[in-house]
Structure 1
Amino acid sequence: MSVIYESKIVEVGQSCSEMLDAEMLIIFHEDVPAELKDVAAIHLNSEWASEVVVGDILQIGNQEYVIKKVGEKANETLQSLGHCTINFGMEGADLPGTITVDGEGLPIIEEGNVIKFKRI
């Protein structure tokens, strides 16, 4: 298994848990605009080895999810801003900056947790 991207969560916005209750997680690297910090999990900026594709694995802490859909702008915003919205098993419209994943339960989002995108 190869790692596409690995980073550590360094800050969790006050409204991040409310977003997670709606089965969504918004991530940005630390250069996030101040007005968006409240709703996001902020992670350190790191290098991308390749683009994320369907079938890759998203790992947050000890929990893993299979990537089912990758929006047409998701890789662009991930590489430039460390940003995407992650939907946990939600069906519906494919939004350009959204990655949809499938797995058991919702992740625990806290400072120090590692976010990884991996390829099998």
Structure 2
Amino acid sequence: MTVFSTQVMAIGPEAAVLKESQMLILFGEEAPAMLAEFCYMIKLDKINGHIQVGQEIIFDETPYFITAVGDVVQSNLSSLGHITIKFDGSRQAELPGTLYVENKALPDLKVSSTIQII
């Protein structure tokens, strides 16, 4: 079952800088200008169900297992399209707005890339 599905609409000029820290930031198209520079802007879409450990987030065709979910990931993604995704395999969510996924190479997102949580 698809819990969430969206598309990258724009990429901030500094978004790739955060890859060095094993993270990327998603934000809806209404991202504040200062934050937008560091974000992958996505189309805000409805969430169908709950985001949970053990699900997968798929960037284009590349899946990543979700290892931890911050307390406000669900509400922030639903209302703002805003979460941080950390690619370090953490089993405990240290930050409330962060989705943690398995530790492997970050995806190479482009405008029109798809992002799904299943």
**Global fold match (TM > 0.5):** yes
Distance change in 2, residues 1:74/1:8 (3 Å): same
1:30 aligns with 2:48: no
Report the secondary structure of 2:37's partner residue.
helix
Identity %: 27
Q: For the residues of structure 2 that align with 1:75 and 1:114, how far apart are their CA atoms? A: 18
User: TM-score of the superposition, structure 2-length normalised?
Assistant: 0.92
Q: Which runs of 5+ in 2 are unaligned?
A: none
Residues 1-120 of structure 1 correspond to what in structure 2 (within 5 A)? 2-89=1-88, 91=90, 94-102=94-102, 104-118=104-118
Name whichever of 90-99 and 37-46 sits farther off: 90-99
Aligned-pair distance for 1:48?
1.0
The gaps in structure 1 that reach 5 residues or longer are none
Say which SS state the counterpart of residue 116 (structure 1) adopts: strand
CA distance in 2, matches of 1:35, 1:13: 10
Count of aligned pairs: 117
C-alpha distance in structure 1 between counterparts of 2:105 and 2:51, whole Å: 22
- Distance across 1 between alignment mates of 2:57 and 2:20: 19
Give the Cα–Cα distance (whole angstroms) in 2 for the partners of residues 90 and 3 of structure 1: 22
With 97-106 and 52-61 compared, the bigger mean Cα shift is at: 97-106
TM-score, normalised with respect to structure 1: 0.91
Q: When you count strand as a share of all residues, which structure comes out higher?
A: 1
Residue deviations 1:48-72, cap 9 Å, x none? 1112111110011121100000011
Instruction: Give CA-to-partner distance per residue, 1:36-95, whole Å, 9 cap, x none.
Output: 100000011111111211111001112110000001111111111011100002548610
Amino acid at match of 2:27: F
State the distance in 2 between where 1:53 and 1:35 align: 30
